[in-house]
Amino acid sequence: ATPTSFNAPGTKTITVSYGGKTTSYTVTVNSVNVNTTLTKITIKTKPTKLVYNVGETLDTTGLVLTATYSDGTVKDISSDYTVNPTTLNTSGAKTITVSYGGKTTSYTVTVNEIKVEKIEIVKLPQQLEYYVGDNFKSDGLTISIYNSNGSVETITSGYQLSIAEGSKLSSPGTIKVSVSYKSKTA
């Protein structure tokens, strides 16, 4: 077939030959509009993940933008854009700004606060027997914290006790000590 490339705008005749036979047809070659600019971007498809826990990193998997140009053409964009913020540090509805080619658009994600579901004592303090007049010590006390996002933390400080650390024990008998952390008690 001739011609094989189109270097100038206008009507071109294409000639096709096979087995000694020839036929032709015409095509129109448009000029490239070098003045075409990006006029706006919109979200065609939101990302798959729209709900997060505090501290998670934004996942844009599935995000597709539609770029509209001044000549009326549109193009789907699934990469080469930037998003802000990328780390979600506070709870609530958060606006994610998407930028491409100097234009911006946005979508909203929900960021849930991680809540303590329960606490559990996993290791008792080193000292469990005292004499009258001794000071209470919680050294060695370890608790596990079960969070709403499924994570489990183990801590040895940062909790509250029903008897203050270092309190003088003034009477004989058994004393129940409660451990509290973010409104959960063990």
Residue range 35-68, pLDDT digits in tens: 689 999 999 999 999 999 888 999 999 999 999 9
Compute how many other C-beta atoms are within 10 angstroms of the C-beta atom of residue 67.
Answer: 19
Q: Tell me the pLDDT tens digit for each residue of 149-168.
A: 888 999 999 999 998 888 89
Pairing of strands 152-155, 38-45: unpaired
Q: Which residues pair with 143 in a beta bridge?
A: 121, 155
Backbone angles phi, psi at 140, to 5 degrees: 95, -15
